[in-house]
Structure formats: structure tokens, C-alpha cells
Amino acid sequence: MNDYDISLSDAYWLDAYLSELATRPRQSRRDRPRSGLMRLLDKEGAPHARLNTVRVVGSKGKGTTTRILAAILHSAGYHVGVFSSPHIEHWCERIRVGERDIPVSRLTSTLARLAPMVDGLRADPTVAGPDLFEVLLVAALSIFQANRVDLAIVEAGIGGRGDATNCLGPMLSIVTTIEGEHLDIIGPTVADVAREKTSIAAPGVPFVSGRMAPEIGSIVDSITSAKGARLVLADRDFEFTVERTKLGVTGRYSERDYAIHLPLTDPLARLSDCVALALAAARRLPGFTISDSDLRQGLVEVALPGRMETLQTEPLILTDGAHTAASTGRLACMLAGFHDQPYRKNPKILVVSCSTGHDPGDWSHRLWSVVDAVITTCAEPSRSHDARDTARRIAAIGPSIAGIQPDPTRALGAAMKRAGSNGLVCATGSVYMVACAKRFARAQNTS
């Protein structure tokens, strides 16, 4: 018996192993070859070289775009794997096969098999890594190969050229947005971020790009042209418009010689840029046949956990992991759009937990104007601002704070009481707050 024989429950071992791996120093560095990753891949039989892949990079919207594209391909009958991050409640959410999270037992057995190799590589002073993200990436690629997926859709981590996913040779790449994020790592300017992310372009490979500011768009155009990639640019090569009528919400996707009208849910309408990217990518995947009915069915069936997600009614509980100006702006628009009579008479209560490294002062100011009260909390003590600190940051920009409750369960309970049976509670600010809200709603529905 060795250290990685699983004597405890799979779920307990998995949480303990990955949590411990996450606390170890990051050994991989962006300015050095990822030797640990590449050697681990070699030991696994190079699954990265045996898979058809799509790589998704960008500042925001990677997860939503990935989910929509996977749902479209699933509707077309293809067997699809998805690697994404972060997870909301459990590590298994990061690896999906056929529209389902992989079982705990499968991830556990894969990581237990890799663990001795990982330890050996990390103990070698001549090797960089592998770090947590790299280990999970190798596990995902190994699982995808074993499941013989037709296509693996892989979200990048922070960057592009220096990211672990640069080991892939994708048949198509997507860049969602480029913003001033992680400037200390891939900056110091937004132009540097653009160069880092666009550097994944490859000769002859479709490179589907979302909307870009003119100065960033010129960088994307220049780099993809120099690399010989086939740039497919939003608002130039494809467009998407949303129309709201009394009969519902529809989207019109169009290219030079093609157009299609698609029914949309309200969350998808608010995430229309991601919808457009997924549609453009689906239509350009080499060797894949996607019909109009597949596009429609994919949008009907796609699930977007933690993205303007309804958890229960009476009172209505919503959750969204918004934590940027753009994402909180979309959330504000959705909250403002509840026109039913009960929601005009009863309060909308916002429960906020903000992760460290972020500041609610940078969020859309409209968010505070469309709710009646704000309660602050701390969803994950080691990774979130203290509830009082979050309250101080919000109060500094104007909104009054109705309550400060460090415990997220009590904060959500207080919000429900304040909202009343016909009110609305929205939990937001971080993925950790989304996880707390989902657990809270499950407990309410089973009590």
C-alpha cells in the first residue's frame, strides 16, 4: 500500500489532496518553459497531442462561451469534453464529459494515479512544477482521451502564450474580451495583455474574437495577420442583435451570406456577446457539421450555473458571480428588468461578498440604484474581504448598508426576511458567494 491508496471516501481524499496541492508554492513560472507539465504529459502518453481541441482565452466570458459552444455541439450529437475554472461548489465541475460533471470517483482515481509522478517531478530541482492548474489540466486531458471525446473545449487560465494550455494545438481559438486584468502578471498595460492573449493565434487556424476597443483590435489584427491565422472578428465578420417584444426575446445572428433568428432566455440575452462568439465558433469548426436546429437546441438546453441563475421562488432568489464593471452592469440590467407587479411593491435585496483583489467601488454604479437594500457578508474568509470592509467600500460610493453579517447563511436569511414572500434576493460579488447561495437554497427547499 502506498501514500495514495484511497482509504477514506473519494470526496474527502479529493478535497484534501487538491486543497493541499493548492497551498504549495507555485513552482511553474510564466517566463520559463513548463517542464513539469510537459514531462507529466509525456508520462501520460501525450493526450494533448491526441485530441481535437478548442482553446478559449480572454479576460471575461470564457466560461459562458465555453458552456454555450459545448451545448451546441452536444445538440449536434458530438461527444464533448470541457475543462474550465474556477468551480462553484466542487472540483469535479471543472471537468465535464457529455454535459455532465465527471464523477468524484473518476477524478479521484485519475489524480491518485498521477500523484506519485507529480511528487517526483516537484521534488526535482531542475523541473518547474507541475502546479495545481497543470495537474488538473493533465487529468482532464487524460480523462477526455479515455472517453474518446470528439472535441475538448479548454479554458485557459490567466494568459495565453505563457499559460499552461499553450501545450495544445487547437483547431480553433476564441478570445472573448481583453481588459486590464492581472496586469501584475501579464501587463503592465492592456496592450501587453492583448499581445499575450493574441499570441496563441496559429497559421491557418480560425481565431474568433469578441468585440475589442479600436486600439486593442488593431493589435489583434496585426498579430493574427503576422501569424497567418484566420481572424473572425465580431461586428466585422459576424453580428448579433437582441430584440425584445411582448412575445419574448429573440436574437439575430448574421454573417455576410447567412442569418438566423434564435429564441433567448433573459440571461442569454444579457450575455449576447458570449452567445455570438459560440455561434461563430460552432460554424467554423473544421470537420464538424452544425445545423440551424442544433444552434437553436443548444441555446435552449444550455445551463449556466452562477450566471444570473434562479435558485428558488417566493421569495425569488437569484445568484450571479459578477465582480467587474461589465458583469455587474449586466446584472443591474437584469434586476431592473423585473417588471411583475410584486417586484415593484416589494424590495430587492442584494447580498454581497467581494473577493480579495477586487473592489465593489469598481463595479457598475447602476447596480446599487436598482436594489432597495444591501447586506454584506464574507463567503470565504481566506479569499474574501471582511464583511465590514466590504460595507465600508460600498458606503464610500454612496449606497447605505442595511446589514453587516459575516456568516453568509445568516446574511441570506436576513435578506429573505427583509424581502418578504414576494420580494427578490440576489447573492453576488464572487463565485464563493454563488456557492453559499446554492447551498442555502438547497437547504431551504429540503426543510
* All domains of the chain in start order, with CATH: 10-301 (3.40.1190.10), 309-446 (3.90.190.20)
CA distance 94 to 390: 29
Cell numbers representing residue 162 in the block: 505563457
pLDDT for the residue numbered 238: 97
**Residue 331 DSSP label:** H
The residue type found at 447 is S
Taking each continuous run of H as one helix and of E as one strand, the counts in the chain are 17, 17
CA distance 426 to 412: 9
pLDDT along the chain (447 residues), means of 10: 54 88 67 81 95 93 95 98 94 95 94 94 87 96 98 87 88 87 68 84 95 89 94 96 88 97 92 96 97 97 93 91 89 80 71 92 92 96 94 91 96 95 93 96 82
Question: Among residues 132, 84, 90, which one has the least CA distance to residue 111?
Answer: 132
Strand partners, 55: 154, 173
The DSSP element (H or E) to which 305 belongs, if any, is: none
Strand partners, 425: 317, 349
Burial of 189 per CB tally in 10 Å (0-12, 13-18, 19+) = exposed
Longest dimension (CA), the chain: 66
CA distance 283 to 288: 8
Terminal C-alpha separation, the chain: 43
The residue type found at 101 is D
CA distance 175 to 155: 10
Kindly report the pTM of this predicted structure.
0.91
Contacts of 244 (CB under 8 A, 6+ apart): 269
Cell numbers representing residue 386 in the block: 471582511
Question: Among residues 279, 274, 232, which one has the least CA distance to residue 254?
Answer: 279
Find the helix packing angle between 272-282 and 62-75, rounded to 10°.
50
Burial of 67 per CB tally in 10 Å (0-12, 13-18, 19+) = buried
pLDDT for the residue numbered 344: 53
Cell numbers representing residue 256 in the block: 455576410
The CA distances from residue 223 to 61, 216, 217, in Å, are 22, 11, 10
pLDDT for the residue numbered 56: 96
| Total number of residues shown for the chain | 447
CA distance 390 to 175: 32
Question: Among residues 196, 202, 127, which one has the least CA distance to residue 172?
Answer: 202
Cell numbers representing residue 44 in the block: 501520460
3-class secondary-structure state, position 256: coil
CA quadruple 99, 103, 106, 109: dihedral positive or negative? positive
CA distance 335 to 351: 13
Block residue for cell numbers 453568509? 408
